[in-house]
């Protein structure tokens, strides 16, 4: 994959695609992690005397939508870079072209939300050509969007000298490193709501890992496949067959596939429900499993503490509800404490780490949800492939 070192950027105008798809509440950014994650690349380019045309998407607008303007993002970026960031009122067009043309080295222009253009998600080549006309070279640092072949993540790279930014480079190298050259024991912890979201990841690890630990609601399709009653736990029906197959594969491949030993249950999905600890995994009628129990938490922690490499995606329970955050917290603490290389992906897993104040205690916290899962599954990411990766 071509990187910043392969690109001559001095005095050039650089079209930089970033992932600034931040959460907004009433027009205010509630978490600017994604903006901060792109700063090393933007600063490295500015340091090399480039001028920047920054492109990003926000949400899923259908056409121009003022509620999804990048104005608050441009303002926050200006604060973080400590320099003026001009927001073009449009994505492409005469105004953007003029503003881009007027850029002097060290200046920063941001385009409006690229998804205001219908051609963006269609990877329209005409739009890609218009992007290319705004700059001399292209840098993609939007790892979170690299699994999409869109005009600003893939198409434009066919028209300009191109390379990966520092964040994209680190994400790809770290995640591929786990697959290709991990320190053993390699342990994958997979949780969250749906097994079908992550069965590709489970499969990838059954081939490579020494142990795969299952938590979250996705344990219930496994339990159902084994004949355990699941009560009214969240149990994805379409997940049962893949779970049964994964159990067989694990046996055949000699990978330890660990399921919870005990559970914490509630009457319903709420923070003030009565908590019923269950010694075992047969969930009685009328109850729902909402977290792994303490025996599971300590068994999983022990595996994590003895690992050489840990990949974690998906919480162990409904951690948003305080009584059911214990399992996720225990695993997060083990991930923070182990000497292993630790890589965490997934929006909710990242939020859980942040909630426990442990986000800076892991080796790598991936900024890409879908993109990191697809990379682990061994899929080719269009935004990476076009950069020679």
Residue 290 near ligand ADP by CB under 6 A: yes
234 binds, among Mg ion, ligand ADP, none (CB under 5 to 8 A by kind): ligand ADP
Q: Name the one range near ligand ADP by CB under 6 A: 117-125, 128-136, 307-315, 380-388.
A: 307-315
Residue 178 near ligand ADP by CB under 6 A: no
The Cα–Cα gap between 337 and 335 comes to 6
- DSSP H or E run through 350: helix 347-355
Query: Quick check: helix, strand or coil at residue 303?
Result: helix
Respond yes or no: is residue 370 known to be catalytic: yes
DSSP secondary structure, 111-178, as one string: -S-GGGSTTTTTT-HHHHHHHHTT-SEEEE--GGGTTS--TTTTGGGGTS-EEE-HHHHHHHHHHHHH
186 binds, among Mg ion, ligand ADP, none (CB under 5 to 8 A by kind): none
As given in the structure block, the two tokens for residue 287 are: 């109850």
Which among 177, 308, 347, 361 is annotated as catalytic?
A: 347
Respond yes or no: is residue 347 known to be catalytic: yes
CB of 317 to ligand ADP, least distance (A): 5
CB closer to ligand ADP, 138 vs 324: 324
The Cα–Cα gap between 373 and 333 comes to 23
Which among 12, 176, 194, 361 is annotated as catalytic?
A: 194
CB closer to ligand ADP, 46 vs 283: 283
Cα atoms found within 13 Å of the Cα of residue 388, Cβ hemisphere only: 10
Respond yes or no: is residue 194 known to be catalytic: yes
Site for Mg ion in 332-361 (CB under 5 A): 347-348
Respond yes or no: is residue 357 known to be catalytic: no
Q: Which of 317, 368, 383, 389 binds ligand ADP (CB under 6 A)?
A: 317
> What is the side-by-side strand order in the sheet with 51-55?
85-87, 108-110, 51-55, 13-17, 137-140, 162-164
Query: Quick check: helix, strand or coil at residue 295?
Result: helix
Cis before 185? omega within 30:
yes
Angle at 164 between CA 367 and CA 36, to 5 degrees: 40
Q: Which of 61, 119, 216, 231 binds ligand ADP (CB under 6 A)?
A: 216
Residue 111 · residue 91 · CB < 8 Å: yes
Residue 19 near ligand ADP by CB under 6 A: no
CB of 306 to Mg ion, least distance (A): 28
As given in the structure block, the two tokens for residue 82 are: 């400590």
Q: Which of 19, 120, 197, 236 binds ligand ADP (CB under 6 A)?
A: 197
CB of 158 to Mg ion, least distance (A): 32
Q: Which of 132, 199, 201, 318 binds ligand ADP (CB under 6 A)?
A: 318
Ranked by CB distance to ligand ADP, the top (closest) residue is 192
Residue 197 near Mg ion by CB under 5 A: no
The Cα–Cα gap between 232 and 235 comes to 8
Residue 18 · residue 141 · CB < 8 Å: yes
Quickly tell me which residue has 């996705």 as its tokens: 218
Query: Quick check: helix, strand or coil at residue 380?
Result: coil
Residue 193 near ligand ADP by CB under 6 A: yes
CB of 16 to ligand ADP, least distance (A): 26
Residue 27 · residue 72 · CB < 8 Å: yes
Residue 130 near ligand ADP by CB under 6 A: no
Residue ranges in contact with Mg ion by CB under 5 A = 347-348
Active site residues: 34, 194, 347, 370
Residue ranges in contact with ligand ADP by CB under 6 A = 192-193, 197, 216-217, 234, 289-290, 313-315, 317-318, 320, 346-349, 369
């Amino acid at each position: 994959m071509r990187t910043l070192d392969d690109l001559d950027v001095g005095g050039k105008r650089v079209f930089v695609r970033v992932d600034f798809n931040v959460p907004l509440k009433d027009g205010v950014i509630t978490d600017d992690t994604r903006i901060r994650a792109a700063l090393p690349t933007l600063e490295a380019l500015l340091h090399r005397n480039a001028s920047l045309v920054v492109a990003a998407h926000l949400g899923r607008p259908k056409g121009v939508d003022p509620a999804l303007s990048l104005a608050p993002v441009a303002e926050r970026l200006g604060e973080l870079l400590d320099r003026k960031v001009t927001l073009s009122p449009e994505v492409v067009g005469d105004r953007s072209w003029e503003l881009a043309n007027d850029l002097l080295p060290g200046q920063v222009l941001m385009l409006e939300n690229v998804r205001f253009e219908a051609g963006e998600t269609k990877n329209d080549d005409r739009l890609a050509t218009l992007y290319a006309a705004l700059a001399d070279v292209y840098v993609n640092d939007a790892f979170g969007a690299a699994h999409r072949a869109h005009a600003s993540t893939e198409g434009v790279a066919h028209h300009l000298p191109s390379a990966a930014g520092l964040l994209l480079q680190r994400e790809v190298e770290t995640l591929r490193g786990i697959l290709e050259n991990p320190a053993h024991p390699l342990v994958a912890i997979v949780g969250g709501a749906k097994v079908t979201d992550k069965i590709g990841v489970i499969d990838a690890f059954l081939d490579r890992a020494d142990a795969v630990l299952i938590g979250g609601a996705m344990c219930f399709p496994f339990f159902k496949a084994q004949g355990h009653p699941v009560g009214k736990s969240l149990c994805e029906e379409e997940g049962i067959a893949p779970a049964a197959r994964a159990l067989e594969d694990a046996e055949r491949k000699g990978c330890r596939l660990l399921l919870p030993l005990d559970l914490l249950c509630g009457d319903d999905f709420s923070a003030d429900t009565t908590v019923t600890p269950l010694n075992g995994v047969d969930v009685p009628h009328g109850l729902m499993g909402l977290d792994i129990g303490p025996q599971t938490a300590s068994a999983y922690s022990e595996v994590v503490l003895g690992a050489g490499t840990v990949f974690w995606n998906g919480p162990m329970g409904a951690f948003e509800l305080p009584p059911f955050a214990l399992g996720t917290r225990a695993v997060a603490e083990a991930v923070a404490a182990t000497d292993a290389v630790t890589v965490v992906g997934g929006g909710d897993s990242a939020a859980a780490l942040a909630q426990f104040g442990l986000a800076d205690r892991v080796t790598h916290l991936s900024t890409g949800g879908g993109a990191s899962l697809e990379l682990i599954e061994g899929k080719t990411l269009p935004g990476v492939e076009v950069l020679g990766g």
